[in-house]
Structure 1
Amino acid sequence: MSGHPGPALPDAFFDRDASQLARELLGKVIRRRLNGVWLSARIIETEAYYLAEKGSHASLGYTHKRRALFMGGGTVYMYYARGGDSLNFSAGGPGNAVLIKSAHPWVDTVSGPDALAVMQALNPDARGQPRPQGRLCGGQTLLCRALGLKVPEWDARSFDPTVFFVEDVGSSPERLISTTRLGIPAGRDEHLRYRYVDPSYAAFCTRNPLRRGQAVGEHYDWTDRYGVILA
């Protein structure tokens, strides 16, 4: 493709409350240049984490490995989860961050069918076949695999607009879903509704909050991008 990405989101965009950042990141596009090809994925599911709550890595205290969580907003924090790499961005305030839980391949003039083919080659299914487009980035480790993002290369680094950054393509949802985070052990603030989902892509998230048996108010809320609960 002949298009060029737009400008990267500035550090100031990330230097805000973690939940607000998690909501604002929905609809933004991750750009990753690999071997001359721009791979792109729209963020559809995020989770906010705070130093002061028990579900976060930062609550366990500062270590060299967790140093990115205590650095300025927009620092990349990567770690290994479920046998793969996991992508997070630091938010405003020491120890606060947002986990990029799921995304969806983004096709435009910058990233076309060739980029999608590269992402599928990087992240095949268990049989070695191309993973369906809707499942290619449907989880934190699948996302990193499809974009070729690795812990040793990017942990505790800043964005580099020539190879890896986040762009606002003007496609952010106004109506969001908030629900509980996934994989939080009992007794570690598992009740907090710090997971945010773009409803248009709910079926492609790690776990669909609109699946059968889920009731609004009881299992999830509708909110606007500022966190106000909607009727």
Structure 2
Amino acid sequence: LIDRIQDRYGKTVFKQDERGCEGCNAAEWKNQSEPELVDNSEQVLDPMTAYQITSMMEGVVQRGTGATIAELGRHIAGKTGTTNDEKDAWFIGYTPNLVVGLYMGYDTPKGLGKGATGGGLAAPIFKDFMRVALDGTPNIDFQVPEGMKLIAINRKTGMKAAEGEAGTIIEAFKPGTGPADSYWVIGMGADGSNGAGGALSPQATQAIQDGGGGLY
């Protein structure tokens, strides 16, 4: 998570990137080929899993608690955060090329005010910063891993949307997975069937009919 640490004079005392670059410090150019960096970094997460998380975090910006950031018209993913008693507010957001973390709070923890949230306080500051930081740069989309399926779903039910259906969102699914086409609830059948071809036991039927009205 830490890329580099510098002292107060700008001297690098720690650098995460340990890639070697043979030929990078050539004294002069004699039509030699460009040097190549050997990437020896460790892969810590499956690319499809990483993209699914990014897709979810894009939803935070597009239609969630960070929706104000969508005004930038950029491909940005991120997450708001608010601690108990409204003592801290966060927004951590990123584009394919830039990650920014923003925190608001007091050195000695105390409330920021009634109703204070990461979406209400931190996200607007993040938006103002990114407007300047991204000015003049291309609006690059997040790269979708090969084999990932992007499927429209009904945002209310979470089920696969019909063609032309309104109120849909696009979600990312790994191969072999996908949204449901239908659903059933135990005891929903008029004849006591559980929807999967078998009748419920008398004990289960009684528990559904006489229970507290929910699952605990």
Common fold by TM > 0.5: no
Select the structure with the greater relative contact order (CA < 8 A; seq sep ≥ 6): 1
Q: Give the strand-richer structure, 1 or 2.
A: 1
Normalization by structure 2: what TM-score?
0.23
Higher-Rg structure is 2
Q: Give me the TM-score of the superposition, normalised by structure 1.
A: 0.22
